[in-house]
Amino acid sequence: MNRILIADDNEDIVNILKKFAEKENLDADVAFDGQQALDMFDKNNYDLILLDIMMPKKDGYEVCKTIRKTSMVPIIMITAKGEDYEKIMGLDLGADDYIVKPFSVAEVMARVRAILRRIEKKSGQNPALVIDSMKLDLDSYTFEVDGQNVDLTKKEFELLWTLASNTGKVYTRENLLDSLWGYDYYGDSRTVDTHVKRLRAKLAAFPGLDDVIKTIRGVGYKFKEPDNK
């Protein structure tokens, strides 16, 4: 049975999410402020966290940032405003997804199921991928170039892993949104372009890696085949 943590200061929202989670055969713990969420995270192992942004004591951003120092557990951020900058900030801090209040509980559960399925699928993959000077470790979500660690966000790592583990395969933006978020994403497909731009900027710091992610005009992206192949 998968175990999740629901953190929100609205007791009604927490209760209904917990009720529906248990109908999905999920073991659900609850927290009503950011500090309680961190305390519970320190004591328990969770497969996924539903995390409200606006909470007392510590907000969702601070909680997410703290968790990301030690864990890559999937996090779905819950925001009341739905402002773009809030979504971007959450994703940059390492959140896997976001959902805006008021929301459909059925949709939340669909996203939870999709992420948990993605975790199960990844568990059967080879945890390490080495291509020339690059090494990606799926267990620790670490990326190294010539032994030097490169700091990537969770989504940047997953984007690079998806492309690099399928060298030469062309992905449309829609393909990438679906595989990285695990459901039919309702936002702007330019989200992928933004992540690619940031990832390329980090790769460009290393000789020969500035063009490993190729743009296929009018289609999407692919990872360049190694020169020795």
Whether the predicted pLDDT of 124 surpasses 60: no
Determine, yes or no, domain membership for 229.
no
Chain position carrying tokens 């557990």: 73
- Kindly report the backbone phi and psi dihedral angles of residue 93, in degrees, each rounded to the nearest multiple of 5, phi listed first: -80, -10
Q: What is the pLDDT of residue 44?
A: 93
What's the token pair of residue 42?
A: 């320190």
What's the token pair of residue 212?
A: 């490993």
The answer on 138 and 58 residing in a single domain is no
Whether the predicted pLDDT of 54 surpasses 50: yes
Least confident of 3-12, 13-22, 166-175, 214-223: 166-175
Chain position carrying tokens 């372009």: 193
Q: What is the pLDDT of residue 228?
A: 44
**Mean pLDDT of all residues belonging to the chain:** 84
Whole-angstrom Cα distance, residue 35 to residue 58? 6
Of the residues 87, 122, 157, which one is the last residue of a structural domain?
A: 122
Whether the predicted pLDDT of 93 surpasses 80: no
Of the residues 97, 122, 147, which one is the last residue of a structural domain?
A: 122
Determine, yes or no, domain membership for 95.
yes
What's the token pair of residue 48?
A: 């996924």
Looking at per-residue confidence, does 163 or 121 come out higher? 163
Total domain count for the chain?
Answer: 2
pLDDT single digits (tens) 22-31: 998 999 999 9
Of the residues 122, 144, 167, which one is the last residue of a structural domain?
A: 122
The answer on 107 and 49 residing in a single domain is yes
Looking at per-residue confidence, does 51 or 226 come out higher? 51
Q: How many helices (H) and strands (E) does the chain have?
A: 8, 12
Determine, yes or no, domain membership for 147.
yes
Q: What is the pLDDT of residue 19?
A: 93
Q: What is the pLDDT of residue 227?
A: 58
Determine, yes or no, domain membership for 199.
yes
The answer on 156 and 53 residing in a single domain is no
Whole-angstrom Cα distance, residue 75 to residue 49? 5
Whole-angstrom Cα distance, residue 118 to residue 183? 10
Q: How far apart are the first and last CA of the chain?
A: 44
Q: How confident is the model at residue 123 (pLDDT cuts 50, 70, 90)?
A: low
95 close to 63: Cβ distance less than 8 angstroms: no
pLDDT single digits (tens) 95-119: 888 888 888 888 888 888 888 877 6
Taking the whole predicted model, whether its pTM rises above 0.75 is answered as no
Q: Domain limits at 219?
A: 126-223
47 close to 4: Cβ distance less than 8 angstroms: yes
Determine, yes or no, domain membership for 35.
yes
Query: How many whole angstroms from its chain centre is CA 142?
Result: 14
Q: What is the pLDDT of residue 41?
A: 95
Other residues' Cβ atoms within 10 Å of the Cβ of residue 143: 23
Whether the predicted pLDDT of 79 surpasses 80: yes
The answer on 132 and 116 residing in a single domain is no
Whole-angstrom Cα distance, residue 30 to residue 8? 8
pLDDT single digits (tens) 158-189: 899 989 888 888 998 888 887 776 554 455 56
Q: What is the pLDDT of residue 82?
A: 59
Q: Which percentage of the chain shows pLDDT scores above 70?
A: 87
